[in-house]
Structure 1
Amino acid sequence: MSLTGTPFFLTAIALLVVAVVLPFALWSRVRGPQFVRGLARLGMLLFAQATAITLVFVTVNNANSLYDNWSDLLGTSDHVEAAKDLGPDGLGGLKLKDEPKQLVKFGPPKDSVVGPGVQEGEFKGRISGVSGEVYVWLPPQYDDPAYRDKKFPVVQMLPGFPGSAKSWMGTLKAPEQLKSLMERGKIKPFILVAPRTTLLGSVDTGCVNIPGKANADSWLSVDVRQMVIDNFRAEDKAESWALTGYSAGAHCATKLALAHPDRYRAAVSLSGFNDPKLEPASLAGKDPKLRIESNPVTILKAANKAGKPPRTALFVSGASGDGYEAGLALKQLAQNPTTVKVKLIPPGAGGHGTAVWKNQIPEVFRWLSGVVKS
């Protein structure tokens, strides 16, 4: 039975009803020695508590898209088939222009929570050795005959940890919020792409390449990016690509954009952080060398020192103590052509949660429309 499906949710409700009714029906009818009666009544109480906790978990999980399936929840999922040392550019000496197109079959998503218009496909990255699902939503103009020769800009959307690839499409309702804005010309028509980011059970890769573990950077910035270009009318130039992320996904978005200005023009960070160690489950945060190297502050400092500040635009929002200071640190380092916009989320706005991030989507895409080229 699917973790996120309606049948499991209804089963959890039914079990809770049974757990509540059971003590009323059987409490005084339990027979046997006092010890046996005590154990039976304790079992009924524990069953009631367990079913209540289960229903709360299922409700929260479905509302926030934390875990996609039982393997993700239990930490047994492994989407890495190989993790070679791919070198500093994450390409392993290969040239994408010499590689044949990787065509992927997209169809209706397995989970209806993502909403109408979303497609789901699964493939194995040739460069990264990672296999996973990718959700894609096409703008309303995509099938308009007037745009038949048009290539569209792309935004990759990254969840937090734990987090599901479908969270932007489902919980945050990005397509639903953006469709009318695109139809009315208020924002540019973007292709939205949400790839799997939970690759190794119960640990967060930090969106970095770790030989022998996972090439998460190459999965996102090379394989997923090229797959979208191969299968859809997507622009291939860096100036037409951007990333958005919340929480741990915000860290990834900022890190990837700064590290690969040849692949991305902009990044949006919602309640993110710079130091990967702030995510306790981060593999990058546990490695002293990677912790420093994958910090966006370190990446930006190194680029500035080399006389090559990246042509990267960043939008960073967060509350005090929850992303705002991370944005200020990057803004202080920004040298032309790097730009950083920092927004303070006021106290009481909702904290570190999906309601805050969901409300920012229209503003974020208006900003992206002014930065990313189409």
Structure 2
Amino acid sequence: MGLTSNTVLLLSVLFALLLFVGTVWLWPRLSRRTWRAVSGRVGLLLSTQLALFLCVGLSANQAFGFYASWADLFGRETEPGVVVDHTGGAPGPLRVVDTRRVDGGGGRPEVNGQIQKVALSGRTTRMGTPAFVYLPPEYFAPENRTRTFPAAVVLTGYPGTAQALVDKLHYPRTARQLAEDGRMQPMILVMLRPTVAPPRDTECVDIPGGPQTESFFAKDLPDAVTAHYRVGRKPGSWGIIGDSTGGYCALKLAMHHPEVYAAGAGLSAYYKAPTDPTTGDLFHGDETLRNEADLHWFMKNRSAPDTSLLVTSSKSGESNYRATLKFIDLVKATNTTRISSIILESGGHNFNTWRREIPPTLEWISGRLSNRS
């Protein structure tokens, strides 16, 4: 039974209820002042509390998609590597491993679109990762067989799961509905974790002597997707969206690589790469690399990039509110970079808040991308 299984959650709830009933039933028998009775009371209380915390933890993980499996939770990543088939000629950088329907839609992709699970392999960085690709219904229409589409990379937070972008944040379903309503153009979405060297949190940095995560997102990923799908090849065809860590990555990649990403949206983003046990030493004493990973520093000390940025926060409930206002002021002072924002009255660092921000974010990024070949 997996970590996100409803059966596991149900069993944990039943176990907590049984412990509670057992505690009430046995408490009179343990009311004596002997060491055995005291130990029994302590054991029952601790067991009941631990069972309750387990229920809350499993529920929170299901709601927010922090960890995908027990191995992921305990730091033993078991996601298989990218399979290279040597019997079918030269392997490509992208391989489709499964397909599924868009949530709430029928089985015909030309009517409801399609979600494809893919394995990505970086040509230059030699890094591989799974991802989900949403293809809109228009992609399958016979009259559009030569048409190209804009694409947006969508990133989770850390640790996060790509599956949560589909099942919890509903990016494909939202994009399809917005396009049907005429509020955005049909777009391809490439959904994945920013952690392409699990379990390490690389913060989308090219780590000296380590994973070249920024290069993977700036070159390998667009190259792989463009080689497999009908994505526009001219500047302005790509955008990037993310929440939390993914939001920081989205803003940084759009700022560092405006020739690739014409627009970047950071939902509840922060603006400086942290250093903690999950990241390790990201910069190895390279002060230039450290400074350029600080988006406030970059905007003040480097030429303003020709890209469009969107930031989100909440007046109440978000810790990045003041930093976001400061970032907006820095960008507004330039004549090149364009800045937009979504500021809620209240909202936390959670899926519920991001689900409120995703529809306008998709509309915003759609209006800034081109579908030219």
TM-score tier after normalising by the smaller chain length: 0.7 to 0.9
1:275 aligns with one of 258, 272, 276: 272
Match of 1:4 in 2: 4
CA shift for structure 1 position 282:
4.4
Q: Which runs of 5+ in 1 are unaligned?
A: 82-98
Alignment of 1:264-303 (within 5 A): 264-277=261-274, 281-283=278-280, 289=287, 290-301=289-300, 303=302
Query: Using the alignment, how far apart are the partners of 1:286 and 1:303 within structure 2?
Result: 19
Residue 156 of structure 1 aligns to a residue whose secondary structure is strand
Query: Using the alignment, how far apart are the partners of 2:187 and 2:102 within structure 1?
Result: 21
Give, as a single letter, the amino acid of the residue that structure 1 aligns with 2:52. A
Query: Using the alignment, how far apart are the partners of 1:217 and 1:248 within structure 2?
Result: 13
Corresponding position: 1:122 with 2:119: yes
CA shift for structure 1 position 136:
1.5
Percent identity over paired residues: 29
1:211 aligns with one of 186, 208, 211: 208
2:237 aligns with one of 234, 237, 240: 240
Match of 2:84 in 1: none
Structure 2 vs 1, CA of residues 350 and 297 (structure 1 numbering), >3 Å: closer, same or farther?
closer
Match of 2:75 in 1: 75
Query: Using the alignment, how far apart are the partners of 1:51 and 1:103 within structure 2?
Result: 43
Match of 1:312 in 2: 307
Query: Using the alignment, how far apart are the partners of 2:312 and 2:166 within structure 1?
Result: 20
1:66-122 residue CA offsets vs partner (Å, 9 max, x unmatched): 1122233223338899xxxxxxxxxxxxxxxxx97324123147xx99887433223
Contact 2:255 2:307 in 1 (8 A): yes
Corresponding position: 1:230 with 2:227: yes
RMSD, aligned α-carbons: 3.2
Residue 266 of structure 1 aligns to a residue whose secondary structure is strand
Query: Using the alignment, how far apart are the partners of 1:129 and 1:160 within structure 2?
Result: 23
Query: Using the alignment, how far apart are the partners of 1:131 and 1:78 within structure 2?
Result: 13
Contact 1:324 1:344 in 2 (8 A): no
Alignment of 1:140-289 (within 5 A): 140-199=137-196, 203-277=200-274, 281-283=278-280, 289=287
CA shift for structure 1 position 200:
5.0
Structure 2 vs 1, CA of residues 220 and 193 (structure 1 numbering), >3 Å: closer, same or farther?
same
Is the deviation greater in 276-285 or in 155-164? 276-285
Structure 2 vs 1, CA of residues 108 and 43 (structure 1 numbering), >3 Å: closer, same or farther?
farther
Match of 1:92 in 2: none
Query: Using the alignment, how far apart are the partners of 1:204 and 1:256 within structure 2?
Result: 16
Structure 2 vs 1, CA of residues 57 and 178 (structure 1 numbering), >3 Å: closer, same or farther?
same
Query: Using the alignment, how far apart are the partners of 2:69 and 2:248 within structure 1?
Result: 24
Contact 1:187 1:365 in 2 (8 A): yes
Q: Which runs of 5+ in 2 are unaligned?
A: 82-89, 106-113
Query: Using the alignment, how far apart are the partners of 1:108 and 1:100 within structure 2?
Result: 20
Contact 1:331 1:341 in 2 (8 A): no
Query: Using the alignment, how far apart are the partners of 1:172 and 1:151 within structure 2?
Result: 26
Contact 1:275 1:285 in 2 (8 A): no
Residue 236 of structure 2 aligns to a residue whose secondary structure is helix
Query: Using the alignment, how far apart are the partners of 2:125 and 2:191 within structure 1?
Result: 17
Contact 1:250 1:273 in 2 (8 A): yes
Match of 2:58 in 1: 58
Give, as a single letter, the amino acid of the residue that structure 2 aligns with 1:104. R
Match of 2:97 in 1: 106
Match of 2:340 in 1: 341
Structure 2 vs 1, CA of residues 10 and 343 (structure 1 numbering), >3 Å: closer, same or farther?
closer
Query: Using the alignment, how far apart are the partners of 2:225 and 2:98 within structure 1?
Result: 14
Contact 2:309 2:338 in 1 (8 A): yes
CA shift for structure 1 position 58:
0.9
CA shift for structure 1 position 265:
0.8
Match of 1:95 in 2: none
Is the deviation greater in 50-59 or in 156-165? 156-165
Give, as a single letter, the amino acid of the residue that structure 2 aligns with 1:106. V
Query: Using the alignment, how far apart are the partners of 1:186 and 1:194 within structure 2?
Result: 21
CA shift for structure 1 position 208:
0.6
Structure 2 vs 1, CA of residues 103 and 287 (structure 1 numbering), >3 Å: closer, same or farther?
closer
CA shift for structure 1 position 291:
2.6
Normalising to structure 2: TM-score of the pair? Answer: 0.82
Contact 1:79 1:131 in 2 (8 A): no
Give, as a single letter, the amino acid of the residue that structure 1 aligns with 2:310. F
Aligned residue pair count: 348
Structure 2 vs 1, CA of residues 252 and 5 (structure 1 numbering), >3 Å: closer, same or farther?
same
1:220-263 residue CA offsets vs partner (Å, 9 max, x unmatched): 22232222223322223331100011222111101111111221
Contact 1:293 1:299 in 2 (8 A): yes
Match of 2:368 in 1: 371
1:297-332 residue CA offsets vs partner (Å, 9 max, x unmatched): 44445542xxxx432111122235425224324423
CA shift for structure 1 position 156:
0.7
